[in-house]
Structure 1
Amino acid sequence: MKRTRILDKDWLDWNVGNGKRFNNLEELLSELRRIRDSLGPSYGFAGGNITEEIELIKSEIEQKKNK
């Protein structure tokens, strides 16, 4: 079963790419970590695990940096 992304491309483009809320993906990751830490490590976030989402975004950032 394919896992649904919690944060889709349109959300990222609006909140990161266009600079509406975050200046870059590192700021987004920082905010996601803050939310995760305030909720506790076992909290399910929007039908998925926020820690997994943070790791997915981190890996995407690294892939973009290495291109």
Structure 2
Amino acid sequence: MNTKKAGLEYYNTLMMLNYLLLKKRISPEDYPEYLNRLKDCSRYSEKVMARGALVYDSVLAYFDKHTPGS
């Protein structure tokens, strides 16, 4: 995923939130609350938020694929 080519240069905190989800430091159930808090104190373009949503979906798909019994 080349974010510079996509015109997305500043998204670190949003991606860190997704990283914390991937590392199971926050749960999928808690993620929306953290995302809303981030939105309250930041200004991300729709393009960056859309990329963040794709990463979020990828993390959830990874969990589905790598969770026993799924």
Bin for the TM-score computed over the shorter chain: 0.3 to 0.5
The structure with the largest alpha-carbon Rg is 2
- Whichever structure has more strand as a proportion of its residues is 1
TM-score, structure 1 normalization: 0.42
TM-score, structure 2 normalization: 0.41
Q: Which has the higher contact order (CA 8 A, sep 6+)?
A: 2
